[in-house]
Amino acid sequence: MEERRAAELAARQSFGKLVAWLTARCGDVAAAEDAIGDAFLAALKQWPEQGVPRAPEAWLLVVARRRLIDRARRDRTLERLLPELDAAAPGMDPETSENSMEIPDERLRLLFLCAHPAIDLGLQAPLMLQTVLGLTASRIAAAFLVAPATMGQRLVRAKAKIRDAGIPFVLPGAEALPTRSAAVLQAIYAAYTTGWNGDGDDGRDRGLTQEAVLLARLCAALLPEEPEAAGLLALLLHCEARHGARRAVDGSYVPLLEQEPALWDADLIAEAEAVLTQASRAGRPGRFQLEAAIQSLHAHRAVSGTVDWSALLGLYDALMALAPSAGGRVSRIAVLAELAGPERALAELEALAAADPALREHQPWWALRAHLLQRTSQAGAAQQAYRRAIALANDQAVRAFLLKQSGADCPG
């Protein structure tokens, strides 16, 4: 039904913006989320019957504000919200024309609110993903290798901390911006990778990657002296440049090394290179600059026709020394296999999982293990690894690709 799709689209596109607007006026992230959730439920009920309003985002905000005011009048613990909510945008009209009511985008302030030093450092990025981009606790938990119930409880406590401590909804002063920016950049990156990894079956997460790029642009503009902000933007632009080449005409998955460089977006690559060059002038290399440099090397294949594996390994070594991560370690071993052979790479991969057992729930670890086992003629073990990698893959096209790979030399 068209009206239901319109409500779902508005939910994906407007959630963070509306939560930020309400939070700016009530100071309670959880209450704002609940009100927006009620508004979306009302839309799913009313729009199919009454039609989609001319300004869906404005309609949702008006309904959410009314829900929050009604709740505050019933709940003595929320009475303090009434003055701000009553004063906020008294002329709102859900039936107004789309251009006559502009809702300010305050998501960047919400990001920095979530990065307040009073919030546990390990929760700042997950909190941003939920409040600003509307990801569920289960999806966030998967990104951070944590049980969904545990992540949900932690997020509830973090929101209560914001409310009870009265953390102000303001951008920090210039002196505090760089300190908080690391968590903000990490959250934007996590949002992008979540959308990237889920952008296969029906493109439902394409909007998430686009929102992440927008937020990266906002951060780079807000923090012109912070090279990591530019580094993140360069990284995301390089990834966006390859978006159209990730799928064949029939929708099948195409891995990076098999992509046709002619299908990459040359304008985005040029912009990414310019932004990365600007960042490097600061002489303060960081994680996102190094990751962008890795992508830049891959993009150079469009010119050279080859991959400089030695340079790639050097960049991964530098990245792991500065900002080690499970995904980075696995990717480094994939590069090592091209230089030192599959046997050595497989030994390092096994040692990696022995040191960090959580990797055995990490889909790329199993996919690489299957590939290396196949290259070392261990057919039975390769088949088992492929089955595990397929089971852990969220993207149907990736599952089909792995299934095809497993059958190439490993009949079964």
* Domains in the chain: boundaries: 2-92
| C-alpha span between 200 and 149 (Å, rounded) | 26
| C-alpha span between 206 and 202 (Å, rounded) | 9
Going from the C-alpha of 49 to that of each of 62, 104, 118, 173, the distances in angstroms are 19, 29, 45, 48
pLDDT at residue 368, rounded to an integer:
97
Residue 88 has pLDDT above 90, yes or no: no
| C-alpha span between 138 and 239 (Å, rounded) | 25
Q: Per 3-state DSSP, what percentage of the chain is helix, strand, and coil (rounded to 5)? A: 75, 0, 25
pLDDT at residue 265, rounded to an integer:
96
- Name the DSSP class of 119: S
| C-alpha span between 103 and 38 (Å, rounded) | 19
| C-alpha span between 193 and 344 (Å, rounded) | 29
Average pLDDT over residues 357-378: 94
Please report which confidence band the pLDDT of residue 198 belongs to, taking 50, 70 and 90 as the band edges: low
Residue 90 has pLDDT above 70, yes or no: no
Lowest mean pLDDT among 276-280, 296-300, 367-371, 407-411: 407-411
Average pLDDT over residues 50-55: 83
Q: Name the residue with higher pLDDT: 49 or 103.
A: 49
Q: Is 297 helix (H, G, I), strand (E, B) or coil?
A: helix
Residue 191 has pLDDT above 50, yes or no: yes
pLDDT at residue 199, rounded to an integer:
52
| C-alpha span between 161 and 169 (Å, rounded) | 13
Residue 204 has pLDDT above 70, yes or no: no
Please report which confidence band the pLDDT of residue 353 belongs to, taking 50, 70 and 90 as the band edges: very high
Residue with tokens 């978006």: 243
Give the other-Cβ count within 10 Å of 384's Cβ: 18
Q: Which two tokens stand for residue 320?
A: 């792991």
Average pLDDT over residues 88-94: 50
253 forms beta bridges with: 247
pLDDT digits (tens, 9 = 90+) for 372-385: 999 999 999 999 99
Note the pTM of the prediction, 2 decimals.
Answer: 0.72
Phi first, then psi, for residue 253 (nearest 5°) are: -75, 135
Give the other-Cβ count within 10 Å of 210's Cβ: 16
Q: Which two tokens stand for residue 175?
A: 């002196």
Residue 56 has pLDDT above 60, yes or no: yes
Residue 165 has pLDDT above 60, yes or no: yes
pLDDT at residue 281, rounded to an integer:
95
Average pLDDT over residues 169-194: 79
Residue 260 has pLDDT above 90, yes or no: yes
